[in-house]
Amino acid sequence: MGAGCVMLSGFQTMTPQEYYSRVLGKLKNCFAGSHYVVAAGRELLADGWDPSFLVAVEPVDQLEKFTVQKGMQVHLPVVGERSRSVLMPMDLEVFLLGENHKLYTDRESQRYWFKQLAPVFRFVESLLRKRGIPYLLDYTPSGAHFLWRNPMGTPAAAELEKIGYLEQDLIQACRYTDANDIKRRWGVSLEAAKVFSGLGKLAEYIALLSLEAFKDNEAKGGLPMTVSDSLDRCINFDNSWGEGSPFMRSIRSPFSLHKKNHDKYLMFHHPPLVDVVGACFDGKGAVEETDMDRVVDCMWDLEKAAEHSERFSGVIPAADDTLVDFVREYRRSALFQFHEEFDATPDLPRQEALARAKEDGRLTHFAQHILHHPNPMALQPKNMMGFVYDLLIYADWRPKHIANVLRDFYIDPRYGWSIDFFKYPAEEKADFWARTFSSLALWKTGRLVP
């Protein structure tokens, strides 16, 4: 056996460090415009890190240290250096509740779940390609990321900014600066924050278009589709990246190792998996790999992944005027009308929404239970979805006032929250989830067609 190689499960493969040496230039292209890198993993234990929080955030010039030297998985910040660009990090995945480990058990298990996901991958790609929108498709062991950059000062960014909305507590969080915190050294410009908000609304539009297209998926023997992991077993658009302060958001980089099999499920009997680029579309043509069996083989074999990577530069495409047209398409939709009404609805005074809810005799027993036991139920997607549905459909609450109930939960320290509601502002968090699950409830009941 050659130096630097290991024999696992009957085949020879390169080490993570050797893999990263092969793709380092492509990784650097992914991080172009970023001023820091987020690295996560058990490798930090050797440096004396607290086992409960194995995440490092360091300047981007440390990328080689975390990859070629340490073999860690690395994540891209969503907001670029000095708010010069904002990344679209759309995330599509399969969720299996207590059986998510099946996504990392073996290749054949992986192939099975990717067959479930492939039609949805192709639908989203078709949606983007028909409109000429450039993107990079990065397959992960649990699904895929659709990525493109949105440079500030462009027509596309200006159009996204128009549809963005910022709550007051989010504005305060973005304006806050800390010279000792690399993520908050310059804060986040409000223009970039609005672009981030606009991307979240656009992702919601894409999600509902997809849900409409696959509304019979479960009846045909497939997994149901939803937003976030709000069903026990589902294919979902994990739009949770759109909630919270933009400076807190990052996404695993293309070409990164994917080490949940080691770090979360302690599956040390095979090498780490790896994210695999599936397509790079420039608006006219694509370099792509449509053979999902080959994609899965690359995820499980670093040598094959390194060879496959040679087809791609790692440059994440930038939005152009085709995105302007897509935003304008969204603005003609029923979802946009709903978003506009939601944003324009005046808030109820603090604590008034919760007081009204507790006196409302129309609420279901489920909703009443959450009213009196909100922690942790009012943070869990499945329970939030049910809570919002019950108040909206059964009790005829306005969506913004449902958000105000969630806000009243979050701002009350008596519930013993462990979340940092400055980095994840309470008002913004409440608005995001009430808006998301209200539109989903209206779609499910036929009252909103995207």
User: φ, ψ for residue 382 (rounded to 5)?
Assistant: -60, -45
Q: In the structure encoding, which two tokens stand for residue 317, read together?
A: 């495409």
- 70 is written with which tokens? 């340490």
Q: Give the confidence band of 8 by pLDDT, cuts at 50, 70, 90.
A: very low
- 346 secondary structure, DSSP code: P
Mean pLDDT of the chain: 94
pLDDT, position 266: 63
Q: Percentage of residues in the chain with pLDDT exceeding 90?
A: 91
The DSSP-derived string for 389-402 is HIIIIIS---HHHH
What gap in Å lies between CA 51 and CA 45, rounded to an integer?
A: 7
- Give the C-alpha separation, 251 to 263, whole Å: 17
* Alpha helix stretches (DSSP H) within 264-398: 292-299, 302-309, 321-331, 334-344, 352-359, 365-372, 381-389
CA 100, 66, 77, 296 dihedral sign is: negative
Query: pLDDT tens digit string along 61-70?
Result: 999 999 999 9
CA dist list (Å): 28 to 20, 22, 185? 11, 12, 22
- Which pLDDT tens digit goes with each residue over 160-203? 999 999 999 999 999 999 999 999 999 999 999 999 999 999 99
Q: pLDDT band at residue 261, thresholds of 50, 70 and 90?
A: confident
What pTM, to 2 d.p., does this model score? 0.95
pLDDT tens string 72-122: 999 999 999 999 999 999 999 999 998 988 888 889 999 999 999 999 999
Q: How far apart are CA 267 and CA 264, in angstroms?
A: 8
Segment 298-325 shows an average pLDDT of 97
Domain ranges of the chain: 73-324, 346-444
How confident is the model over 335-340, as a mean pLDDT? 98
pLDDT at 225 over 70: yes
Cis peptide bond N-terminal to 376, omega within 30: yes
Where are the strands (E) in 123-195, listed by range? 135-140, 143-151
